[in-house]
Amino acid sequence: MAASPSITIVVPTFREVESLPHLLGRIANVRKQHDLDLDVLIMDDSSNDGSVELVNLRGESWVQIMVRTSDRGLSAAVLDGLRRARSDVLVCMDADLSHPPEALPDMLRKLADGADFVVGSRYIDGGSTSDDWGFLRWLNSRVATMLARPLVNIRDPMAGYFALARTTFESGRDFSPIGYKIALELIIKCRCERAVEIPIHFEDRQFGQSKLSFKQQLLYLRHIRRLYIYKFGVWTQLIQFLVVGGMGAVVNLGVLTLLVMTRVPVRVSVASAIFVSMCFNFVLNRRFSFSFARCGPWLKQFVRFIGASSAGALLNYACTLAMLNYVPSLSPQLAAMIGIIAGTGVNFAASRYLVFRAAHVRVRMNAKP
Ligand code: GDD
Ligand code: MN
Protein backbone atom coordinates (compact mmCIF):
# COMPACT_ATOMS: atom_id res chain seq x y z
CA MET A 1 0.00 0.00 0.00
CA ALA A 2 1.18 3.52 -0.76
CA ALA A 3 2.79 5.54 2.05
CA SER A 4 -0.27 7.71 2.49
CA PRO A 5 -3.22 5.78 1.10
CA SER A 6 -6.49 7.38 0.09
CA ILE A 7 -9.32 6.65 2.50
CA THR A 8 -13.10 6.47 2.22
CA ILE A 9 -15.21 6.41 5.35
CA VAL A 10 -18.55 4.77 4.69
CA VAL A 11 -21.19 6.02 7.13
CA PRO A 12 -24.55 4.22 7.12
CA THR A 13 -27.31 6.51 8.27
CA PHE A 14 -30.96 6.40 9.07
CA ARG A 15 -32.37 9.58 10.63
CA GLU A 16 -29.07 10.98 11.87
CA VAL A 17 -29.46 14.61 10.84
CA GLU A 18 -28.72 15.82 14.37
CA SER A 19 -25.47 13.86 14.65
CA LEU A 20 -24.11 14.60 11.18
CA PRO A 21 -22.73 18.12 11.82
CA HIS A 22 -20.80 16.87 14.88
CA LEU A 23 -19.53 13.82 13.05
CA LEU A 24 -18.41 15.74 9.97
CA GLY A 25 -16.80 18.41 12.14
CA ARG A 26 -14.72 15.86 14.00
CA ILE A 27 -13.74 14.02 10.83
CA ALA A 28 -12.74 17.35 9.26
CA ASN A 29 -10.38 17.97 12.18
CA VAL A 30 -8.72 14.58 11.91
CA ARG A 31 -8.45 15.01 8.16
CA LYS A 32 -6.74 18.34 8.50
CA GLN A 33 -4.56 17.53 11.45
CA HIS A 34 -3.09 14.40 9.86
CA ASP A 35 -3.21 15.70 6.32
CA LEU A 36 -5.24 12.72 5.11
CA ASP A 37 -6.49 12.09 1.59
CA LEU A 38 -9.90 11.28 2.98
CA ASP A 39 -13.49 11.38 1.79
CA VAL A 40 -16.78 10.44 3.39
CA LEU A 41 -19.57 8.49 1.75
CA ILE A 42 -22.85 8.67 3.65
CA MET A 43 -25.23 5.84 2.74
CA ASP A 44 -28.65 7.09 3.77
CA ASP A 45 -31.75 4.90 3.64
CA SER A 46 -34.17 7.68 2.65
CA SER A 47 -34.29 9.31 6.06
CA ASN A 48 -36.06 12.36 4.63
CA ASP A 49 -34.99 14.29 7.70
CA GLY A 50 -32.96 17.02 6.05
CA SER A 51 -29.68 15.07 5.95
CA VAL A 52 -29.26 15.63 2.20
CA GLU A 53 -29.96 19.34 2.51
CA LEU A 54 -27.52 19.60 5.38
CA VAL A 55 -24.70 17.94 3.46
CA ASN A 56 -25.36 20.11 0.41
CA LEU A 57 -25.45 23.27 2.50
CA ARG A 58 -22.08 22.49 4.08
CA GLY A 59 -20.68 22.08 0.59
CA GLU A 60 -17.62 20.05 1.57
CA SER A 61 -16.27 18.53 -1.62
CA TRP A 62 -14.98 15.47 0.26
CA VAL A 63 -18.42 14.58 1.65
CA GLN A 64 -20.94 12.76 -0.49
CA ILE A 65 -24.38 11.50 0.46
CA MET A 66 -26.19 8.71 -1.39
CA VAL A 67 -29.87 8.20 -0.87
CA ARG A 68 -30.87 4.56 -1.10
CA THR A 69 -34.44 3.56 -1.84
CA SER A 70 -34.26 -0.22 -2.13
CA ASP A 71 -32.60 -3.11 -0.29
CA ARG A 72 -32.72 -1.19 2.97
CA GLY A 73 -30.81 -2.18 6.07
CA LEU A 74 -27.57 -1.39 7.81
CA SER A 75 -25.44 -4.19 6.36
CA ALA A 76 -26.80 -3.73 2.86
CA ALA A 77 -26.09 0.00 3.03
CA VAL A 78 -22.53 -0.60 4.26
CA LEU A 79 -21.81 -3.20 1.57
CA ASP A 80 -23.25 -0.91 -1.05
CA GLY A 81 -20.99 1.91 0.14
CA LEU A 82 -17.89 -0.30 0.30
CA ARG A 83 -18.52 -1.42 -3.28
CA ARG A 84 -18.80 2.16 -4.53
CA ALA A 85 -15.74 3.50 -2.74
CA ARG A 86 -12.59 3.74 -4.88
CA SER A 87 -9.98 4.57 -2.22
CA ASP A 88 -7.14 2.32 -1.06
CA VAL A 89 -8.50 2.00 2.44
CA LEU A 90 -12.17 1.52 3.35
CA VAL A 91 -13.49 2.44 6.78
CA CYS A 92 -16.93 1.96 8.27
CA MET A 93 -18.14 4.21 11.06
CA ASP A 94 -21.52 4.85 12.75
CA ALA A 95 -22.96 8.34 12.43
CA ASP A 96 -23.95 8.72 16.07
CA LEU A 97 -20.43 9.51 17.37
CA SER A 98 -20.14 6.16 19.12
CA HIS A 99 -17.01 5.61 17.05
CA PRO A 100 -14.28 8.23 17.58
CA PRO A 101 -12.89 9.50 14.25
CA GLU A 102 -9.74 10.37 16.20
CA ALA A 103 -8.81 6.66 16.28
CA LEU A 104 -8.41 6.64 12.51
CA PRO A 105 -4.63 7.26 12.37
CA ASP A 106 -4.12 4.28 14.71
CA MET A 107 -6.18 2.10 12.42
CA LEU A 108 -4.20 3.19 9.37
CA ARG A 109 -0.94 2.44 11.16
CA LYS A 110 -2.08 -1.12 11.88
CA LEU A 111 -2.98 -1.65 8.24
CA ALA A 112 0.40 -0.29 7.17
CA ASP A 113 2.03 -2.70 9.64
CA GLY A 114 0.48 -5.67 7.88
CA ALA A 115 -2.94 -6.20 9.47
CA ASP A 116 -5.64 -7.12 6.95
CA PHE A 117 -8.57 -6.01 9.12
CA VAL A 118 -8.61 -3.47 11.95
CA VAL A 119 -11.43 -3.26 14.47
CA GLY A 120 -12.11 -0.38 16.85
CA SER A 121 -12.62 -2.45 19.97
CA ARG A 122 -14.37 -1.90 23.28
CA TYR A 123 -13.11 -5.09 24.87
CA ILE A 124 -9.33 -4.94 24.73
CA ASP A 125 -7.09 -3.12 27.21
CA GLY A 126 -7.72 0.59 26.91
CA GLY A 127 -11.13 0.13 25.30
CA SER A 128 -14.36 1.01 27.10
CA THR A 129 -18.05 1.70 26.82
CA SER A 130 -20.10 4.47 28.39
CA ASP A 131 -21.13 3.59 31.89
CA ASP A 132 -24.80 4.21 31.32
CA TRP A 133 -25.15 1.03 29.33
CA GLY A 134 -27.93 -0.87 31.08
CA PHE A 135 -27.15 -4.34 32.43
CA LEU A 136 -29.32 -5.96 29.78
CA ARG A 137 -27.57 -4.32 26.85
CA TRP A 138 -24.24 -5.21 28.38
CA LEU A 139 -25.24 -8.85 28.93
CA ASN A 140 -26.73 -9.02 25.47
CA SER A 141 -23.56 -7.77 23.88
CA ARG A 142 -21.44 -10.19 25.91
CA VAL A 143 -23.52 -13.24 24.97
CA ALA A 144 -23.53 -12.23 21.31
CA THR A 145 -19.77 -11.77 21.48
CA MET A 146 -19.24 -15.19 23.03
CA LEU A 147 -21.23 -16.87 20.28
CA ALA A 148 -18.95 -15.32 17.69
CA ARG A 149 -15.66 -16.10 19.38
CA PRO A 150 -15.06 -19.47 17.67
CA LEU A 151 -15.52 -17.77 14.32
CA VAL A 152 -13.02 -14.94 14.62
CA ASN A 153 -10.03 -14.34 16.82
CA ILE A 154 -10.95 -10.89 18.14
CA ARG A 155 -12.48 -9.71 21.38
CA ASP A 156 -15.08 -7.38 19.90
CA PRO A 157 -16.46 -9.11 16.81
CA MET A 158 -19.70 -7.14 17.14
CA ALA A 159 -17.97 -3.87 16.39
CA GLY A 160 -19.30 -1.60 13.70
CA TYR A 161 -16.10 0.45 13.42
CA PHE A 162 -13.45 -1.10 11.21
CA ALA A 163 -10.98 -0.60 8.37
CA LEU A 164 -9.61 -2.78 5.59
CA ALA A 165 -7.83 -2.41 2.28
CA ARG A 166 -10.06 -2.22 -0.79
CA THR A 167 -8.13 -5.14 -2.31
CA THR A 168 -9.03 -7.26 0.74
CA PHE A 169 -12.69 -6.29 0.39
CA GLU A 170 -12.65 -7.12 -3.30
CA SER A 171 -11.27 -10.59 -2.61
CA GLY A 172 -14.42 -11.41 -0.59
CA ARG A 173 -17.10 -13.72 -1.97
CA ASP A 174 -20.64 -14.83 -1.14
CA PHE A 175 -21.65 -11.90 1.04
CA SER A 176 -25.08 -12.54 2.49
CA PRO A 177 -25.31 -10.47 5.64
CA ILE A 178 -28.54 -10.35 7.52
CA GLY A 179 -28.87 -8.03 10.43
CA TYR A 180 -26.18 -5.85 11.89
CA LYS A 181 -22.87 -7.69 12.05
CA ILE A 182 -21.16 -6.66 8.88
CA ALA A 183 -17.61 -6.79 10.32
CA LEU A 184 -18.05 -10.44 11.23
CA GLU A 185 -19.30 -11.18 7.74
CA LEU A 186 -16.36 -9.37 6.14
CA ILE A 187 -13.64 -10.98 8.28
CA ILE A 188 -14.93 -14.45 7.41
CA LYS A 189 -15.87 -13.98 3.77
CA CYS A 190 -12.72 -12.00 2.91
CA ARG A 191 -10.74 -14.71 4.72
CA CYS A 192 -8.85 -12.21 6.84
CA GLU A 193 -6.11 -13.88 8.81
CA ARG A 194 -4.49 -10.91 10.50
CA ALA A 195 -7.46 -9.13 12.06
CA VAL A 196 -6.30 -6.86 14.90
CA GLU A 197 -7.95 -4.49 17.33
CA ILE A 198 -7.23 -1.03 18.59
CA PRO A 199 -8.92 0.22 21.75
CA ILE A 200 -11.70 2.80 21.47
CA HIS A 201 -14.06 4.41 23.89
CA PHE A 202 -17.55 3.60 22.62
CA GLU A 203 -19.62 6.67 23.44
CA ASP A 204 -23.38 6.42 23.89
CA ARG A 205 -25.36 8.27 21.26
CA GLN A 206 -26.50 11.76 22.21
CA PHE A 207 -29.02 12.43 19.48
CA GLY A 208 -31.69 10.33 17.80
CA GLN A 209 -32.43 6.71 18.58
CA SER A 210 -30.74 3.32 18.29
CA LYS A 211 -32.15 1.07 15.62
CA LEU A 212 -31.00 -2.13 17.29
CA SER A 213 -34.26 -3.97 17.88
CA PHE A 214 -35.20 -7.39 19.19
CA LYS A 215 -35.79 -8.46 15.61
CA GLN A 216 -32.19 -7.55 14.80
CA GLN A 217 -31.03 -9.82 17.59
CA LEU A 218 -32.97 -12.77 16.24
CA LEU A 219 -31.49 -12.04 12.84
CA TYR A 220 -28.09 -12.15 14.48
CA LEU A 221 -28.69 -15.74 15.61
CA ARG A 222 -29.59 -16.71 12.04
CA HIS A 223 -26.60 -14.83 10.68
CA ILE A 224 -24.19 -16.49 13.06
CA ARG A 225 -25.58 -19.95 12.32
CA ARG A 226 -24.99 -19.30 8.63
CA LEU A 227 -21.44 -18.19 9.27
CA TYR A 228 -20.76 -21.35 11.28
CA ILE A 229 -22.08 -23.45 8.42
CA TYR A 230 -19.97 -21.46 5.96
CA LYS A 231 -16.81 -21.81 8.00
CA PHE A 232 -17.09 -25.24 9.60
CA GLY A 233 -19.44 -27.11 7.20
CA VAL A 234 -20.12 -30.64 8.34
CA TRP A 235 -18.76 -29.95 11.84
CA THR A 236 -21.56 -27.47 12.39
CA GLN A 237 -24.04 -30.16 11.46
CA LEU A 238 -22.39 -32.52 13.93
CA ILE A 239 -22.57 -29.96 16.74
CA GLN A 240 -26.24 -29.25 16.04
CA PHE A 241 -26.87 -33.01 15.87
CA LEU A 242 -25.22 -33.47 19.27
CA VAL A 243 -27.16 -30.59 20.82
CA VAL A 244 -30.41 -32.07 19.48
CA GLY A 245 -29.33 -35.49 20.78
CA GLY A 246 -28.71 -34.03 24.24
CA MET A 247 -32.13 -32.39 24.26
CA GLY A 248 -33.61 -35.66 23.01
CA ALA A 249 -32.12 -37.47 25.99
CA VAL A 250 -33.85 -35.00 28.32
CA VAL A 251 -37.16 -35.53 26.50
CA ASN A 252 -36.66 -39.28 26.78
CA LEU A 253 -36.12 -39.12 30.54
CA GLY A 254 -39.04 -36.73 30.99
CA VAL A 255 -41.49 -38.93 29.14
CA LEU A 256 -40.20 -42.02 30.91
CA THR A 257 -40.63 -40.46 34.33
CA LEU A 258 -44.13 -39.30 33.47
CA LEU A 259 -45.25 -42.71 32.19
CA VAL A 260 -43.74 -44.64 35.08
CA MET A 261 -45.40 -42.26 37.50
CA THR A 262 -48.79 -42.96 35.90
CA ARG A 263 -48.13 -46.68 36.34
CA VAL A 264 -47.67 -47.59 32.71
CA PRO A 265 -45.69 -50.87 32.56
CA VAL A 266 -41.95 -50.26 32.46
CA ARG A 267 -41.28 -51.87 29.09
CA VAL A 268 -44.02 -49.88 27.42
CA SER A 269 -42.73 -46.73 29.12
CA VAL A 270 -39.17 -47.29 27.95
CA ALA A 271 -40.24 -48.02 24.40
CA SER A 272 -42.60 -45.03 24.28
CA ALA A 273 -39.97 -42.69 25.72
CA ILE A 274 -37.49 -43.83 23.09
CA PHE A 275 -40.06 -43.38 20.34
CA VAL A 276 -41.07 -39.89 21.46
CA SER A 277 -37.46 -38.77 21.72
CA MET A 278 -36.75 -40.21 18.26
CA CYS A 279 -39.63 -38.17 16.84
CA PHE A 280 -38.35 -35.12 18.67
CA ASN A 281 -34.83 -35.64 17.33
CA PHE A 282 -36.16 -36.17 13.85
CA VAL A 283 -38.13 -32.92 13.80
CA LEU A 284 -35.25 -30.84 15.17
CA ASN A 285 -32.57 -32.42 13.02
CA ARG A 286 -34.70 -31.90 9.94
CA ARG A 287 -35.30 -28.28 10.90
CA PHE A 288 -31.78 -27.38 12.07
CA SER A 289 -28.89 -29.86 11.74
CA PHE A 290 -29.77 -30.89 8.20
CA SER A 291 -31.97 -28.00 7.19
CA PHE A 292 -30.67 -28.18 3.63
CA ALA A 293 -32.89 -31.25 3.14
CA ARG A 294 -35.99 -30.01 4.89
CA CYS A 295 -38.09 -29.84 1.77
CA GLY A 296 -37.47 -33.53 1.01
CA PRO A 297 -40.30 -36.07 1.56
CA TRP A 298 -40.67 -36.14 5.34
CA LEU A 299 -42.33 -39.53 5.71
CA LYS A 300 -39.59 -41.28 3.77
CA GLN A 301 -36.99 -39.38 5.77
CA PHE A 302 -38.73 -40.30 9.00
CA VAL A 303 -38.75 -44.03 8.24
CA ARG A 304 -35.09 -43.89 7.29
CA PHE A 305 -34.25 -41.87 10.40
CA ILE A 306 -35.86 -44.49 12.63
CA GLY A 307 -33.95 -47.18 10.73
CA ALA A 308 -30.66 -45.32 11.05
CA SER A 309 -31.22 -44.60 14.76
CA SER A 310 -31.96 -48.26 15.42
CA ALA A 311 -28.77 -49.21 13.63
CA GLY A 312 -26.89 -46.76 15.86
CA ALA A 313 -28.54 -48.19 18.97
CA LEU A 314 -27.63 -51.73 17.94
CA LEU A 315 -24.05 -50.73 17.28
CA ASN A 316 -23.94 -48.97 20.63
CA TYR A 317 -25.14 -52.16 22.33
CA ALA A 318 -22.77 -54.44 20.42
CA CYS A 319 -19.81 -52.13 20.89
CA THR A 320 -20.36 -51.83 24.65
CA LEU A 321 -20.58 -55.60 25.09
CA ALA A 322 -17.57 -56.20 22.85
CA MET A 323 -15.45 -53.73 24.82
CA LEU A 324 -16.42 -55.40 28.08
CA ASN A 325 -15.64 -58.77 26.61
CA TYR A 326 -12.23 -57.95 25.16
CA VAL A 327 -11.00 -55.46 27.77
CA PRO A 328 -12.22 -56.96 31.04
CA SER A 329 -10.50 -54.29 33.14
CA LEU A 330 -12.71 -51.59 31.56
CA SER A 331 -15.51 -50.21 33.74
CA PRO A 332 -19.01 -50.69 32.30
CA GLN A 333 -19.50 -46.92 32.24
CA LEU A 334 -16.46 -46.40 30.11
CA ALA A 335 -17.50 -49.22 27.80
CA ALA A 336 -20.94 -47.63 27.53
CA MET A 337 -19.35 -44.27 26.68
CA ILE A 338 -17.38 -45.84 23.86
CA GLY A 339 -20.55 -47.54 22.66
CA ILE A 340 -22.43 -44.24 22.76
CA ILE A 341 -19.72 -42.47 20.77
CA ALA A 342 -19.66 -45.21 18.14
CA GLY A 343 -23.47 -45.30 17.94
CA THR A 344 -23.72 -41.52 17.74
CA GLY A 345 -21.08 -41.41 15.00
CA VAL A 346 -22.96 -43.95 12.92
CA ASN A 347 -26.26 -42.20 13.63
CA PHE A 348 -24.82 -38.93 12.49
CA ALA A 349 -23.24 -40.33 9.33
CA ALA A 350 -26.37 -42.28 8.45
CA SER A 351 -28.63 -39.28 9.09
CA ARG A 352 -26.38 -36.96 7.18
CA TYR A 353 -25.70 -39.14 4.16
CA LEU A 354 -28.62 -41.57 3.95
CA VAL A 355 -31.60 -39.81 5.50
CA PHE A 356 -31.28 -36.08 4.83
CA ARG A 357 -29.64 -36.24 1.47
CA ALA A 358 -29.04 -33.05 -0.41
CA ALA A 359 -29.71 -34.91 -3.67
CA HIS A 360 -33.46 -34.69 -3.08
CA VAL A 361 -33.29 -30.97 -3.00
CA ARG A 362 -30.72 -29.96 -5.53
CA VAL A 363 -32.96 -27.21 -6.85
CA ARG A 364 -33.13 -25.68 -3.40
CA MET A 365 -29.44 -25.94 -2.55
CA ASN A 366 -28.99 -22.23 -2.96
CA ALA A 367 -31.85 -21.53 -0.64
CA LYS A 368 -31.05 -19.91 2.64
CA PRO A 369 -30.14 -22.45 5.31
N1 GDD B 1 -28.44 3.13 5.87
C2 GDD B 1 -28.87 2.60 7.03
N3 GDD B 1 -29.95 1.77 7.02
N4 GDD B 1 -28.25 2.92 8.18
C5 GDD B 1 -28.70 2.37 9.33
C6 GDD B 1 -29.81 1.51 9.39
C7 GDD B 1 -30.46 1.19 8.15
O8 GDD B 1 -31.42 0.42 8.09
N9 GDD B 1 -30.01 1.14 10.68
C10 GDD B 1 -29.05 1.77 11.39
N11 GDD B 1 -28.28 2.54 10.60
C12 GDD B 1 -27.13 3.36 10.96
C13 GDD B 1 -27.43 4.36 12.05
O14 GDD B 1 -27.93 5.56 11.52
C15 GDD B 1 -26.05 4.53 12.68
O16 GDD B 1 -25.25 5.43 11.97
C17 GDD B 1 -25.44 3.14 12.55
O18 GDD B 1 -26.12 2.51 11.47
C19 GDD B 1 -25.58 2.30 13.83
O20 GDD B 1 -26.93 2.26 14.19
P21 GDD B 1 -27.40 2.37 15.71
O22 GDD B 1 -28.86 2.34 15.73
O23 GDD B 1 -26.71 3.53 16.37
O24 GDD B 1 -26.85 1.00 16.25
P25 GDD B 1 -26.30 0.62 17.68
O26 GDD B 1 -25.59 1.75 18.33
O27 GDD B 1 -27.37 -0.06 18.44
O28 GDD B 1 -25.25 -0.51 17.25
C29 GDD B 1 -23.92 -0.16 17.01
O30 GDD B 1 -23.15 -0.74 18.00
C31 GDD B 1 -23.15 -2.14 18.01
C32 GDD B 1 -22.28 -2.62 19.13
O33 GDD B 1 -22.99 -2.52 20.28
C34 GDD B 1 -23.46 -0.65 15.63
O35 GDD B 1 -22.15 -0.17 15.37
C36 GDD B 1 -23.42 -2.13 15.54
O37 GDD B 1 -22.82 -2.51 14.28
C38 GDD B 1 -22.60 -2.66 16.69
O39 GDD B 1 -22.66 -4.05 16.68
MN1 MN C 1 -25.32 3.65 17.96
| Among candidate residues 220, 210, 204, the one with its CA nearest the CA of residue 99 | 204
Q: Is the pLDDT of residue 209 over 60?
A: yes
What is the pLDDT averaged over residues 249-277?
Answer: 88
Interatomic CA distance for residues 138 and 185, integer angstroms: 22
**pLDDT tens digit sequence for 326-357:** 988 888 778 878 888 888 899 999 998 888 87
**pLDDT tens digit sequence for 17-63:** 999 999 999 999 999 999 999 999 999 999 999 999 999 999 999 99
Point out the ligand 1 atom lying closest to the alpha carbon of residue 161.
35
Q: Which ligand is located closest to the Cα atom of residue 184?
A: 1
91 lines ligand 1 (CB under 6 A): no
> Ligand 2 centre from 205 Cα, in Å?
6
What is the pLDDT averaged over residues 127-135?
Answer: 79
Query: Is the separation of the CB atoms in 27 and 9 below 8 Å?
Result: yes
What is the pLDDT confidence band of residue 367, given thresholds at 50, 70 and 90? very low
How many CA atoms, within 13 angstroms, populate the side-chain half-sphere of residue 172?
27
State residue 204's pLDDT score: 87
12 lines ligand 1 (CB under 6 A): yes
> Ligand 2 centre from 220 Cα, in Å?
16
State residue 215's pLDDT score: 83
**pLDDT tens digit sequence for 266-288:** 888 888 888 898 899 999 999 99
C-alpha 323 chain-centroid distance = 41
Q: What is the DSSP string of 68-137?
A: --SS-SHHHHHHHHHHH--SSEEEE--SSS-S-GGGHHHHHHHHHTT-SEEEEESSSTT-EE-TT--HHH
Q: Is the pLDDT of residue 295 over 80?
A: yes
For ligand 2, an ion, list residues with CB under 5 A: 96, 98, 205
Kindly state the percentage of the chain with pLDDT values over 90: 54
Q: Is the pLDDT of residue 362 over 50?
A: no
State residue 252's pLDDT score: 86
Interatomic CA distance for residues 318 and 328, integer angstroms: 15
Length of the chain, please?
A: 369
- For residue 238, the tally of other CB atoms under 10 A from its CB is 17
State residue 1's pLDDT score: 54
Point out the ligand 1 atom lying closest to the alpha carbon of residue 94.
16
- For residue 1, the tally of other CB atoms under 10 A from its CB is 13
Residue 179 identity: G
Of 71-80, 162-171, 255-264, which one has max mean pLDDT? Answer: 162-171
Interatomic CA distance for residues 367 and 140, integer angstroms: 29
Please name each of the domains of the chain with its CATH number.
6-232 (3.90.550.10), 234-360 (no CATH)
State residue 2's pLDDT score: 52
